[in-house]
Amino acid sequence: MNPLKKIKYSRIFILGVFLYILFRGLILLIGLKTSVLTLENDFYSMKTRVKAIVVRDEYLIKSDTSGTLSLLVDEGEKVQKLQRVATIYNKNVDNSIEREIYNLKEEIKNIEKNNNSLQIGVLSVKKEQLKILEEKVKNNTRNYYSNISGVVSYKYDNNEDKYKVDNLSSLTKDDIEKCENNYISISNNKLIKPHTIIVRVINNNEIYIVFVSKDNKLFNEGDSVKIKNEKYTVNGEIYKKYNKNGYFTITVKITQQNKEIYDTRESEFDIIYKQMEALRIPKESLVKKDNKKGVYVINEESNKPEFVEIKGNYFEDDKDKYIYIDFRKNEISEVDTVKLHDRIILKPNFINKRVSKIN
């Protein structure tokens, strides 16, 4: 062979060996520098922020006379149907007369209990005094009773007739967007006129929030949700979804008692529509192989990346940067997919998917 050709082939061979070593070194370097993510157990909440209005089954009690208002139960207290909740005293009496009547009854009870013949005259006088006072109260007071069993509030906003449970299907986007909190407080021991609102009673088993959604798939009737704002978190259930020609009004029935919501008409809420113990996988780690969606998991024995399909129980939100794998359900169902503590390639590319070893 021509010596020049030998030298040429030798150079090509050396260059080839050099390039191979360089390539293997590059592959090794990529294996060392490839970013991986260990899948950890965590608890995740999927939520959306909305403005919502609160609609209740609630009743206003109004005065039908003038006088001094006496509120008889604490705000937030549960009352029974036909329980007395307020009294209005006209100018001839005030609520101190109730204390006089109570004291007289106690005195009469004690005298009768002792059965002392010397006290018969006193007993007769006390009973006559009691009769006069009770007659005076009867003629100069007006009692008010709750017509339902519910929770008492001493605030109102004059929208109780507009936002009624019977009107849930007719509420619109404008109703929700334009609504504001404008509650008025009811004062005890104040002079009032006829037709004044004196008590609001709330049926605490019929409370709803209503908000607007453009997504037809996100909320379905019967789904459980959590409703959260700056002051409280309550449980709820999607009660109704009304199609409003271009958007939906979503009605959630509150299934957990909370006093704060009794005096809220509108608020910004987080609607937590899904919560799970899950593995969170960045979408940038996802690849498609043979029309299957998955990730590259590092084999713990060989340290070599292997494609593993994402399947079974998982949740994907188009607005989120992650997918969530419900690995507990997958374990129970024996689904062969990613598992707790798997290491995955964080940003797979043409090279790092093919390296022989990743540390």
Cβ-Cβ contacts under 8 Å for 247 (sequence gap 6 or more): 173, 212, 213, 214
Average pLDDT taken over every residue of the chain: 86
- Within a 10 A sphere around the Cβ of 9, how many other Cβ atoms? 11
Give 10's pLDDT tier (boundaries 50, 70, 90). Answer: low
Separation of alpha carbons 172 and 128, rounded Å = 62
3-state secondary structure of 247: coil
Number of H helices, E strands in the chain: 5, 21
CA 76 to chain centre: 20
Q: Kindly report the CA angle at 63 between 147 and 266, in degrees rounded to 5?
A: 70
pTM above 0.95, yes or no: no
Condensed to tens digits (0 to 9), the pLDDT of residues 285-297 reads 999 999 999 999 9
- pLDDT(253) > 70: yes
265: CB partners within 8 A, 6+ apart: 53, 54, 157, 159, 163, 179, 180, 181, 182, 183
pLDDT of residue 21: 60
**Opening angle at CA 294, ends 343 and 344, nearest 5:** 10
Q: Are 50 and 212 in contact (CB under 8 A)?
A: yes
106's CB contacts (< 8 A; 6+ apart) are none
DSSP H stretches of helix in the chain? 3-33, 96-114, 120-140, 173-178, 327-332
Task: Tell me the per-residue pLDDT of 133-172, one tens digit each, with 9 for 90 and over.
Answer: 777 777 778 899 999 999 999 999 999 999 999 999 999 9
Quick one: average pLDDT of 165-183? 93
Give percent of the chain above pLDDT 70. 86
pLDDT at 332: 92
Please say whether the beta carbons of 337 and 311 come within 8 A.
Answer: yes
pLDDT at 92 over 70: no
User: Where residue 331 falls among pLDDT bands split at 50, 70, 90?
Assistant: very high
Instruction: Please tell me the distance from the alpha carbon of residue 101 to that of residue 82, in angstroms, as a whole number.
Output: 22
Ranges 16-20, 69-73, 89-93, most confident: 69-73
Nearest to 46 by CA among 285, 320, 330: 320
